[in-house]
Structures are given as structure tokens and as C-alpha cells.
Chain A
Amino acid sequence: MNLAITLLMAVAVASVIGTVLKQNEPYQNYIIKFGPFWFEVFEKLALYDVYSASWFLFILGFLVVSTSVCIYRNAPTMLKSISHFRTHVGLNSLRAFHNRQEWVIPRPEAEVAPQLAAMARTHGYRLRSQDHGDHRVHAAMKGSWNRLGYVFTHAAIVIICIGGLVDGNVPLKLKESSGQIQIETRDIPASQVPAKSWLSVKNPSFRGSVTIAEGTSANLAFLQLRDGYLVQPLPFRIELKDFRIEHYFTGQPKSFESDLVIHDPELEQPLESTIAVNHPLVYKGYAIYQSSFNDGGSKLNIRAWPLLARDLQPHDIESAVFQDVKVTSPRGTLTMELTDFKLYNVNPVEEDDESGKQFRNYGPSFTFKLRDETGAAREYENYMSPVEFEGRSMYISGVRTTPAEPFRYLHIPADSKYSLERFLKFNALLRDQERVRELAEETTRGSFDQLTLERPELRQEVIENMVHLVGLFTQGGVDAILEQVNRSAPEERRTQVMDAYLKVLQTILGELYLELLAGEGVDFSQGMSESDARFFDDSLNAISSLGHYGAPFFAQLTGFEHLQASGLQIARAPGKNVVYLGCALLTLGVFLMFYVRHSRLWFRVEEKDGHTRLLFAGTGHRHERDFAEEFTRLRAELEQRLGVADRPPAQP
């Protein structure tokens, strides 16, 4: 029995490993985490997949064997004791009981015996009597089903383990180690996966997953195994008609649903069914679960507005998620890899008041990677519609260089028509050197009239300076100007020079902006409106960050056709019912064991000279304390019944 406890504890301790160390991660992650030496040590110990490691299965197997042996040895006795009344118990054995009492009753046995039987039955005991010649033993017991609890619980452990073994991936491991199958690690279409990585369609138990886009179908599933996968063909085809996400009013997802159609030659007509989380479809023993969702290759209309050129000619792109598009730009040919589209972007908004978490929908967005000819890429996340920030509408676009870092956002102000037009025109105007020069000349004309007469070259210098500063600003933002100041001016004058530069820049940019407004027909004779002024500031902020933004264009999403894909999990577990049977037995067994109390009573009766000598004894199996109380009550009742309450008990 100590073995049982040792095994239970061993399984417990071994199980801990798998919860502390994340299981079945790509091996690369483990190497990074542990270094090459420990990686290999842990791999040898199979710690990356503890629960199907041979040593773990060995412990489990040992537990099953030892439990089986335990059942084999004890169950017959236990089962026998259910119907065995032990009417052969000897006098000395009875006298050894902790709970016992003897009386000599001045009445014949024929009067005493019915009382004993009546009392035992009243309290739910079954009775069996045996005549031993000079004495009779009436043995009673109740709750003997308790013993069945032992058999049930122990058998349940064995049954559950066997069922689990059937459904586990041990057969797969065996096939793999014998070289019958090979894990595929390349990211290639299923049709190109070599036959060695395909499992039989008859494979009785597996758990795989497959992603199906709306309007398409699949007749296979992928089994993730360590750093690769296997392909599991299905005897039917699953078509995804529609995938839906419903939301709560707060914006959090409420339900994920897929409308599936099962195409099977054996079906007269295709089977239609809607699955949702917690509501799988079971077809021919294959359970199909809603487990995730993805973009299914949404069609996107994108307008790429040049950000670095003086002309405003946009380039329209029609493509779809998971497609690549070549784009020529001043920075060479770039590959735009469309990676995702999201219809909703529900983000938490931090509110100051105590009203709790607030959520806001930022509308559709799409993400793409922009890869240059060297292979380096940045990732972008662009929102379709402008988003309100402090009363202003902004187009936002996030950028990052690695997936590990968070997006940094470019905020482009939207004009009064919620379009990008004004900003883009302004940006283009700044890059039109000739126009900048013209305006610089106009601006300086009035203020330099007096000076120019004396030093005409000074005005020219200021104009050049303005053009140069605007050029710097459009290329690298305020940072570029600061850099130039740091390079050219002596340290003690830097602040002064920078201030002067910014003032000059502000003047010329202001003039450019006013020209733009005039072109739009805005009347600013009474001064500029607050929103126009803010637009100017926001535009400058945006233009200043374009250098860091990195993309030579702003990709505006102008239209889309949303196509989703549903991630399904497909499982076949023939051992499930075996496990459930084990579970039912376990539950029943545990309650029988703890809540059906097995108690025995004995009445040994001997008649002599018209007197009856009675020995009353009892025992409670594994509930001695409570039984002692019951025995005391029974003894008192017996004394009442037999009228011996005031008699001193007989000495043995």
C-alpha cells in the first residue's frame, strides 16, 4: 500500500514539471531560454512533452498495474463481505471488540431473540442467524455497499488510464520513433506535404485543427507536434459558409459562430450546422469545435498617397490579405505584404472617473509589412476612418520594426470633410521647392525692403535659409534641424540659433499654410479659426515624424470586402466513453466509500436453565467514532426492550 502512495505522489510531482515549463513550444524558444547545454539535458528527459514522455507513462503504467494487482487481491474478499454475515465468529473474538455488552436475562431465548431481530431491522440492519448447537449467533449488518466503493474507485483509476491511453498520442509517438511517420516543419501547402507526414484517414484518435476561410472548404486537419505538424485527412469535407462575431454593447466579443456544411458522399444531402464556443458538432465520431478565428483573405482597396513627393498623384492598389504587392517609390521597389484585416478594433479607454473600464471601437484596420530590397521590413497598422482625439479627427497609422515592440502611432489630422486632402496638399506643398522659394521671396519682400537696399545678398541668404530649413524639416523633422544646429553652431549659441531657426521655419510654414487655406477659399481676414490653427500644429507634428515613420506613402484603406476564416478544432476520441464510464464509477465509488457506512452487529445467544446469556457486539468499518455513539444508543434501546435496564451487566 505504501507503493500506492509513492506512486500517487510521483505522478503529482512529475505533473508539476509540465505546468511550470511550457509544453510543446517550438524548440527554438527552449534553446533561447536554457542555453544549448540545458536544452539538451531537458530534451533527453523529454521535459518539453512530459505527459507523453516514456518515463511519465511508465509511472502511470506502474500505477495502473499496482492498482490492478490491488483489486485482484482485495476485491474478492471485499465483494464477499457484502453478503457475508460472519455468523461463525467465536466468543473470544466478540469479546475482543471495543463495542460490546453482555447480559444474563431471566427469560427463555424464544422471548429474547425476536426482540433482537426487531431492533436490528428497525435500524436498517439485515440479519442472518446460525445455530451452533449450544448457542446461536444472529449477525446483522448494514451499508455493506460501502465495500463496493473500494472496488469502484480502484477500477475507475484503471479504466480512466486505459481510456486516456487510447486517446493520447502514444501510438503517434511510437510510429514516429519507428520512422513510419515524420513531422513536417516547413510552412507549405498541404498538397506539397510528403506522404510520410500524412496520417491514415482511419486514424482512430487525434486532435487537430484547421483554418477555413468563408466560402471555402477543407477535408483535413493539422496536428501540431513539437516544432512541426502532421496532416490528418478526414473522410468528409467541411465547408465554411459564414463566420460571425457578435459583440456586447461594451464591445467585448459575445459569441463566435461558424455556419458549416458537411459534404460526405454517404450523406444524401449536405449536412448544415452552426457551431459556437461550447456548442460543437459531432459527426461520425468526429467532434468539430469552434476554437479561433482569423482573416480569410479579405479583399482590400488601398490608396497609396505619396508622402515624400511634391506631386499628389495617388496609386490605387486592389489586393487581398495574405497577398504581396510591389510598389515603386523614391526608396526603390518595396514589397507590401498584406497580413491582416480587422473589422473592429475595440480598445479600452482609460477614464479618470470611477466608472470602470470603457471601450471604444476604432473601426476597421489593416496591417501590412513593407519590405525593402535588402529584406528589412517594418510593420504598419492603418485605420480606415479617422479617430477622435480631444475633439480632433486623426488618421492613425502604427509602425514598428519588430513584432516584439508596441506600435508607435503617426497621427495625421483629417480636414473638415474628414479627408486626408488638406494634410496631403500641405505636405506636398512643403516639398515643392520652387513654390517654397517663391513664397520665401514674397515673405521677405516686405520686411527686408530697407535692408536689401544696403545688403541685397542678405535677403538672398535668408531665402536660401528658409528653403533649406523647410527641406530639412520635410526630410527629418525638427530633429534634423536640431542636428544641423548641433553640427554647425558653437555650443553656447545653440539654443539661440535653434530658436531663430524655428522662428524662421514657423514663419515660412505659416505662409505656406495660409496659401493653402487661401486656395481652399477659407476666409481668414478675421484671423485664423481655432480648428485651422490646430490643424496647422497637428500637421507639423505629423510631418515632423514622417522621417521615423519610414514609409514613402500613406496607405489609406478606401474599401474592403470582409472575408473571415474560422479556426476549427477537430478531434476523435474513441476512449472518451471509456473515460466517462471510469468517471461515473469513480464518483459513485467515492460517495459509496465515504457516505455509505458499513456497520456490523452480533448477538450471541445461549440459553441455560431458562436464562438467556446475551453478548451484544458491533463494529463500524472506518467510522468507529460515529459507530461508538450509535452502539451506545442501540445498547440502551436493547436494555429497554429486554427489560434489563436496571440490571448490572454480566461479567464475562
Chain B
Amino acid sequence: MSVTQQQMMQGFEKPSFWKSLSWFDWVWAALVVAGSVYVYRNFPHLMDVYEIAILVGSAASLIALGWLWKPIRGLSLAVAIISLFGISRYGTDLGLADQEFFLKYLVSSQSAVMWMSALYVMATVTYFAHLFSGSDFVGKVASAMTWSATTMGLVGLMVRWRETYLVGADVGYIPVSNLYEVFILFAIMTALIYLYYEGRYRTRSMGAFVLLVISAAVGFLLWYSLDRGAHEIQPLVPALQSYWMKIHVPANFVGYGCFALSAMLGVAYLIAARVTPGSTLARRLPDLELLDDVMYKSIALGFAFFTLATILGALWAAEAWGGYWSWDPKETWALIVWLNYAAWLHMRLTKGWRGTPMAWWAIIGLFITLFAFLGVNMFLSGLHSYGGL
């Protein structure tokens, strides 16, 4: 009896996290470490001690992220391979962007961003097709398109990173420093967060709504690039030359991406709540409870990162502007966004509010976020005037 019990218990033993890792997980970790070591060995002169710490931190985070959410591994490897290919095509001549076949049509940052844009828009249409047809295959195509678009967007940023150094060795900067670059980042972040929830809840019915906001961002990006020439690489003003940018901006955009996602789920919720129960459409639209839950989770995630980003921003401000808080319009609007979602979370957690009012509130939240993100740069002046329109 005792033997069988022992065996039984072994059967139920929850395998430890380390034991649950596959060989590919270890290959993944080894590759990330190797890449980081390569960067550390070859470019130490371009990094200060904080940037080396950021390199170590990002390598560790990337490994952990890949272990916890497996598709990140494939995505990262694809981005790395395509980016390295693009960078090798350039050599040291930026002028090749318009001459070399692969660069011109595929992997120069501008081309990659165009691919990203096209794929996101196509994915949006395909997700809608999936929503109305209910076809699994169409849904899979839409997902694949979103993954591909995200890959190309990241390739665009990576190659652009190299391009900034080709413009001039002293120009080089991480491409998250102006409105054009962060719009790409916004699209990618929103898509990634969406893809996580798509995988986690095994439903593609939310895609149409979420990709809509990404398409809107892509539309703006195209206008900004084609009409305003915003994709031109301009050297950084002294105030932006800081390691803080590498953590402040991405953290902020996890927040913005989450808030945008939750607002679109809010839209989906309002629509789903009005559809006659039991109708075909009602069956294909995402489940109300799921929407409510993901909306909450996304706002919670966004709020956590937005809190972190705002604090990082304050730390940076203390180093660059002489004070951690200056009531600068951008800072103040960040606070307003923060207060808004703090109130939203309070309502849900302490008052137990759910459903329609919270969906409306999430949508309003997007407009507040949008104003903090874009409106401040357009209408208000202040210290934060980097991404003028």
C-alpha cells in the first residue's frame, strides 16, 4: 500500500519549474547569453556601466520571458536572424538602402516598417473575416499575419538602431526617441500583449477589435512618415542622451499598449453586450466574462508598467532637469492617466464594478492616454517637446 501511495504521489508531484524546461529552452537561454556576451565584448566603448546593467537585465528578462511565454523564443530568433541579415547587407554604407535588393524591398528599416504596416492592416481585415465567418483557418492566418507584422516591426527597429550608427558613429541611439519610432513600438507592444492573451485564452475573436487600434496607429505612422518625412534619422538632442531612455520609454509603451488593448476590449464588450444572446454573432463574439476579465488584467498590467515608467521618468527628470517633478505638461498628464486607471482599478477591486460602465471607462481611458501620448506634444509646450508634429 505504502509503495503504491509513494508511486501515486510521485505521479502527482508537480514538476519543478527547472525540470519543465525543454532542451530548446536551454538552447534559447544559451543563444541569448551568447548574443549578450558578443555585444559586451564588441561594443563596451558604446555603453556606460548603467547600460551594461541594462544589457544584463534585458538578457535575463528575455530568457525568462521566453521560458514563460514560449512563442517569444521563435519571434526573437526570427527577428535576430532577419535583422542580422539586414545589417550585414548594409556593411558600412547607408546609401545601399536604395540600391541593394534585399534592403530596398525587405530589410532596411523603412521597408521593414512598411511590411509591418501592410501586414497589420491585412491582419485586421483577416481577423474580421474570422469573426464573421467563424473559420478557424482564417483565424490562424490572421494570427500568423500579426506575428509576422510584429516580427517585421521589430526588425525595422533593430535595423534602424544600426542605421543610426551608420549615419554617424556619434549619432547612434536606440530608436525609441521620437514620435515616429515610438509609434512603431506602440503597434508592436499592443500586438504582443494581444497575442499573449490570444494564446492564453485560446480565442481569436478579440483580434479584430484590438488590431483596429493598431491599424489606426499604422495609418498615423504612414501619414507621419510619408507626409512629414518623420522617418529621417536625426541626432539626439543632449537631453535625450541617457541610459534612462532605454528603460523609461519601453516601460511606458507596455502601459500605453495595455491601455489601448483594454479600450478595444471595452468596445468589443459593449458590442457583445448588445447582440441578441444565442445569435450566430453572439456565439462568435468573445464571451462577456472573458472580455471583462482580460480588460481588467490588461489594465492591471498596464498600470503596473505605467507606474514603473512614470517613476523611471521622475528619476530621469531628477538627473536631467534638476528635479524629479516639475509639473511639466507631459508629467502632469502622465499623472492624470495614472490617477484615472487607479480610480478604475479601485472601482473594480473595492466596489466590484464590472461590465458596461467599466468598458465605457476603459474607452474614455484610451482618450486620456492618447492625449497624454500625442495631445500634449501637439497642443501644449513644455520640457518634453521631443516628438513635435
Q: Which residues of A contact B (CB under 8 A)?
A: 1-2, 4-5, 8-9, 11-12, 15-16, 18-20, 22-23, 51, 115, 118-119, 122-123, 164, 167, 207, 248-250, 252-256, 276-280, 287, 289, 291, 356-357, 569-571, 573, 576, 579-580, 583, 586-587, 590-591, 594-595, 622, 625, 637, 640-641
Contact = CB atoms under 8 A, between A and B. Distances in A.
Contact of B14 (A123, A277, A590): A123
Interface residues of B, number: 54
Nearest to A157: B342
Interface stretch (B25-33, B275-283, B330-338): B330-338
Given A579-B324, A622-B349, A278 B343 contact: no
B304 A594 contact: yes
A363 B329 CA distance: 36
21 contacts: A2-B351, A4-B343, A4-B346, A9-B339, A12-B339, A12-B340, A12-B343, A18-B327, A19-B329, A22-B381, A122-B13, A122-B14, A248-B171, A256-B238, A277-B241, A357-B232, A571-B322, A573-B318, A586-B307, A594-B304, A637-B12
Given A8-B343, A289-B321, A594-B301, A583 B238 contact: no
Contacts of B325: 164, 579
B322 A252 contact: no
Contact of B324 (A356, A573, A622): A573
B245 to A, nearest CB: 10
A591 B314 contact: no
Given A248-B171, A590-B308, 18 more contacts: A1-B350, A8-B346, A15-B336, A18-B332, A123-B14, A207-B322, A249-B168, A250-B168, A250-B234, A252-B234, A252-B237, A254-B170, A279-B319, A579-B314, A579-B324, A587-B307, A590-B307, A595-B304
B51 interface: no
Interface of B is mostly: helix
Contacts of A576: 318, 324
B198 interface: no
Nearest to B320: A278
Contact of B322 (A254, A289, A637): A289
A356 B229 contact: yes
Contacts of B14: 122-123
B376 A19 contact: yes
Nearest to B308: A587
A207 B322 CA distance: 8
Interface in B350-372: 350-351
A280 B376 contact: no
Nearest to B336: A12
B343 to A, nearest CB: 4
A563 to B, nearest CB: 21
A113 to B, nearest CB: 13
Contact of B293 (A11, A18, A20, A625): A625
Contact of B327 (A23, A119, A122, A253): A23
**Residue in B168, B325, B380 with the greatest tally of chain A CB atoms within 10 Å:** B325
Contacts of A9: 339-340, 343
Contact of A277 (B9, B238, B311, B318): B238
Nearest to A594: B300
A19 B234 contact: no
A532 B8 CA distance: 106
A356 B238 contact: no
Contacts of A167: 323
Contacts of B380: 19-20
Contacts of B350: 1, 4
B235 interface: yes
B347 interface: yes
Nearest to A114: B5
CB-based closest 6 A-B pairs: A569-B322, A277-B238, A19-B329, A12-B339, A289-B322, A594-B300
A571 B323 contact: yes
A277 B343 contact: no
Contact of A641 (B8, B234, B332, B346): B8
A190 to B, nearest CB: 20
Contacts of A16: 332, 336
B128 interface: no
Contacts of B340: 8-9, 12
Contacts of B311: 583, 586-587
A279 B8 CA distance: 62
A15 B237 contact: no
A252 B236 CA distance: 9
B139 to A, nearest CB: 23
Nearest to A276: B238
A254 B229 contact: no
A253 B322 contact: no
B343 A5 contact: yes
A175 B386 CA distance: 37
B184 to A, nearest CB: 19
B47 interface: no
A165 to B, nearest CB: 12
Contacts of A19: 329, 332-333, 376, 380
